[in-house]
Structure 1
Amino acid sequence: MAEIIPLKAWRYHTSLIPDIDQLVSPLFDVVSEKQRQKQYQNPHNSIHLSVPKGDNPAENARHTLKKWKQNGIIVQDQIPGIYVYYQHFQLPGSIRHFCRKGFICNIRVYDWDEKVILRHENTMPVSVNDRTEILAKTQLNVSPTHGLYEDTGFLLEKYMDESMETPLYETEDYQGVKDVLSVIRDPDVINIFTSHLRDKQIVLADGHHRYAGSLAYKKQQQANNPTHTGGEGYNYHMMYLTNMESDDIRVLPTHRLIHGLKDFDQKKVMERIESNFIVKPVDNAYDLNEIIVGKQWAFGLLFNGNAFKIRLKPENFRNITWKFPEKIKALDVTVLHYFVIEKALGIPGKKHTTSNNISFDRSFADCLMKVTTKQAQMAIIVNEITMEKIKDVCFSGHILPQKSTYFYPKVICGFLFDSIDENEFHKNVNLSL
């Protein structure tokens, strides 16, 4: 199924490696405005390629890339490889150390209906167009998307561990995550990786808009190329692949914040909620996220001065009228949006993805602060979705509701770049590997 190949990455010149901390950047869709402004001050920070500034950002990225290549800011590796990427991290409130192990390669771009790359959320056209334009101008995959493959035998991990004995470089990001990169260049070992993925489907964990941008660009180029062979650079996309069977794959919850609702009345909201949920007041709001852990259809509600645990009355589940498959209806996030956001708060389901009254926050502490300081009228605290449920939905051919997942940590930008320019791509890699 999934065809992967090694690549010859473009990387920062060795003279710049001591400053790698100042060159990497968060992904374009998670970087804050404050972070952006700080990183823009460094003329060689990778943000100039991933989130370019100006009235014509794609053209500016193209110009920056050309200058960097000419001046030797980035140089191309001479031997193709699969780049091993480990992320060491801890979660707030836990003493456990995690290490998410994976590798970066090129993967063939498949259309969604080919069922090789399985998306778990929909994309927004404006964001896809933005990524497509930058890809078209730069001919560069600036940062890898994140895909998951299934391997209960953990065949590849031993080769990755061996590679990590001689890392190329490492850095620590703004969240305290240690990112380490190494490379495998042995053709025999690379063949083990490529062969092992041939019977795998890939669940796209993160980077839906970037992958969709590659897919859109491939279709454009294929339509305009009468001699299309399938081997052109535009047929490939850079991806970070991790084993979904690993216990170090963490999916964090994404809480909902409600603000700006006209005539918002906590008492009336709670009366409507009580018709569908078992409600229990919580004395210490700081305990709320722990009280609901592991309980199906259980949520926390934070108001200014009050906190509640709510859990759907099981007999009410059948009252969901949205025409979703049963697997989707049974998800916590569906129950939340139907019974709380639509029925109790009066925001119709069809407006949930565009409503200005709903925002998202992954920090429980932030949610509590925003409610306490009246930046939000209420916060809805949710459980994380399990990897098993993600697999169940994706392999069944369905898509999860909006903001169901947040794979942590995010991949950083700047460790390596991948050219799909025809001249560079075909000297890039021996496709017979």
Structure 2
Amino acid sequence: MVDVYPLKALRFSERFKKEIPDLISPPYDIISDSQKEELKKLNANNIVKLILPEKKDDRSSYENASDLLNEMLEENILEHDIQESFYIFEEHFYDEGTWKSFKSFIGLNKIEEYDSSKVLRHEYTLSKPKEDRLNLLRHTNTNFGLIYTLYDDADNEIQKILDEGTLSEPLYDFKAKYDPNLRFRIWRLSEKDKLKRIRELMKNKKILIADGHHRYETSRLFMHEIYEKRNKKDLNTPPVSFETTDQTIFPEEAVLTLFVNYNQENIKILPTHRMIKFKEKFNLNNYLEKIEKYFFLEEYSRVFKSKPSFTNEPVLIKNLTDFMNDKKNEKKHSFCLIDSKQKIFFITLKKEICELYPDLDESDYDFENLDVRILHRLLIDEILNDNDADTIHYTHTFNDLVSKVVSADTEYDLGIILNAPEISDVQKISAKGKLMPQKSTYFYPKPCSGLIMYKMDL
């Protein structure tokens, strides 16, 4: 049973409604140092100051976040809604020459242990980001951003409620200043019968964490820390009661969550390409010789009857895109290799995974069949085992990879382009309790931070 609850959200005061595009930010983990500075320039109260705080005088960055949050509450810059609500969230994004959108809703999700089979994860987490987010949570008791989750609503029962809720004027409707290709719309859903109905419909579902694994794990650890304080009688704040249910939960038992019906058309996963710098001198010809044991090899000039033109990037990108899409549609495991000397090769796996690894357990097939797994197991770990990668950087666009790998002052030896997994791949693997390699998925667009927030009364 998945327990979801409405909340009295923490939001920027109504007097800042027109400034909302200047006050929000992307999720903390995709904000570069330069973008952070740009966000701070947009507005003195931009949420980036809370989610990526800085040291100030003798105060640590986390203490500074706590101080700033308290100031914003005291000055009514941030205020709590009066009514319990779910918040309908509609994300619009410009993609492939057209605007696309999908609907979701924001609420509280009761934190579950991973072995409960109610909340599924699909990626490993790293200790350093968890410690950072845990320190911020300890000092602020606030979720500033959203855990992005997927659920199955094939009959559109919840979707119909959300659609009806968007017939009225939205609470917010604006384009993001940090990315003009994003538009966000929010409605408040407060009718008790609809809140109850959504809660009932969600009870028999499972949710899959699409993005926000570190934040979910942080919230789970924080919950156990608070439990310990309660057991020692160091904390005795009361549980939270709700108007739409007799159930109560302690504030720390819930995390702010975005619930997305994955049956919608425009749920998008971007590929995560690799840009590699090797410890030793890299020789592409030697690498290609080893690759041919497992892969068919095709040079760009033979496929497209012309050499790759890096001065005509749009044509080059289109050719790369078309080739990779065609191979994906053919259910082939294909990759594109680009080296710093402007050579491009396409490679396609010769055998099926079950032929390549005849002793493979059937339960591992979906995992080993992932392009990102093949990339790391074969192209990096096995074939390159005598020349370890010194650094691997990631990008989600062909344009970025091409421009960085072949630039005159490039720091990379090799770029590897791969196709993104399908949502069905992620579902199958997570349902078996298996985890995908780091940087396997990049769900797009990501929800913004600072629009709807959850402050725990601790």
Q: Structures share a fold, TM > 0.5?
A: yes
After TM superposition, the structure 1 = structure 2 runs for residues 156-235 of structure 1, keeping only pairs within 5 Å, are 156-164=158-166, 165-173=168-176, 174-175=178-179, 176-226=181-231, 231-235=249-253
Listed as ranges, the matches of 1:399-414 within 5 Å are 399-414=435-450
> Aligned equivalents of 1:278 and 1:261: distance in 2?
27
Contact 1:289–1:382 under 8 Å retained in 2: no
Kindly provide the amino acid, as one letter, of the partner of residue 179 in structure 1.
Answer: F
Does the residue aligned with 2:280 lie in a helix, a strand or coil? Answer: coil
1:246 to 248, 264, 267: 264
Residue aligning to 2:244: none
- Asked whether the 8 Å contact 1:282–1:288 carries over to 2, the reply is no
Give, in whole Å, the separation in 1 of the partners of 2:126 and 2:297.
36
Q: In 2, Cα distance between the equivalents of 1:125 and 1:338?
A: 23
Identify unmatched segments of 5+ residues in structure 1.
423-433
Q: Is the counterpart of residue 312 in structure 1 residue 349 in structure 2?
A: yes
Q: How far apart, CA to CA, are the structure 1 residues paired with 2:13 and 2:129?
A: 31
C-alpha spacing 1:39/1:95, structure 2 compared with 1 (3 Å)? closer
Q: What does the per-residue CA deviation read over 1:262-308, in whole Å, with 9 as the maximum and x for residues that have no partner?
A: 11111111111112100111134431232022142111111232111
Contact 1:84 1:183 in 2 (8 A): yes
Query: What's the TM-score, normalizing by structure 2?
Result: 0.86
Q: Is the counterpart of residue 360 in structure 1 residue 394 in structure 2?
A: yes
Structure 1 pair 168–245 and aligned structure 2 pair: CA distance change class (3 A): same
CA contact (8 A) 2:354 2:365 kept: no
Aligned to 1:327: 366
- What's the counterpart of residue 29 of structure 2? 29
Secondary structure, aligned partner of 1:78:
coil
Segments of 4+ in structure 1 off by > 3 A?
A: 227-230, 315-324
Query: Quick one: distance in 1 between partners of 2:62 and 2:201?
Result: 36
CA contact (8 A) 2:271 2:441 kept: yes
Match 2:321 to one of 289, 293, 311: 289
Distance 1:96 1:129, change over 3 A: same
1:342 matched to 2:381:
yes
- The residue number in structure 2 matching 1:4 is 4
- Give the conservation status (yes or no) of the 8 Å contact 1:341–1:347: no
Equivalent-residue separation in structure 2 for 1:242 and 1:236 (angstroms): 18
2: CA distance, partners of 1:357 / 1:137? 34
Shift of 1:87: 0.4
Number of the residue aligned with 1:40: 40
Out of 43, 58, 62, the residue aligned to residue 58 of structure 1 is 62
* Alignment partner of 1:20 is 2:24: no
**Offset of residue 222 of structure 1:** 1.1
Gaps of at least 5 residues in structure 2 are 240-247, 302-307, 309-315
User: Is the 8 Å Cα contact of residues 24 and 415 (structure 1) preserved in structure 2?
Assistant: yes
Task: Kindly tell me the number of residue pairs found equivalent between the two proteins.
Answer: 415
CA deviation profile, 1:231-262 (whole Å, cap 9, x unmatched)? 21000100000001111111111101111431
> Which deviates the most, 166-175 or 3-12?
166-175
Task: Letter of the 2:4 partner, please give it.
Answer: I
Secondary structure at 1:357 match in 2: strand
Q: Normalised by the size of structure 1, how large is the TM-score?
A: 0.91
The separation in 2 between residues aligned to 1:222 and 1:318, in whole angstroms, is 50
* Cα distance in 2 between the residues matched to 1:357 and 1:49: 30
Counterpart secondary structure, 1:239: strand
- The Cα RMSD (Å) is 2.0
User: How far has the Cα of 1:157 moved from its partner?
Assistant: 1.8
Residues 288 and 309 in structure 1, CA contact (< 8 A), matched pair in contact too: no
Give the match for residue 313 of structure 2: none
Percent sequence identity is: 27
Contact 1:84 1:102 survives alignment (8 Å): yes
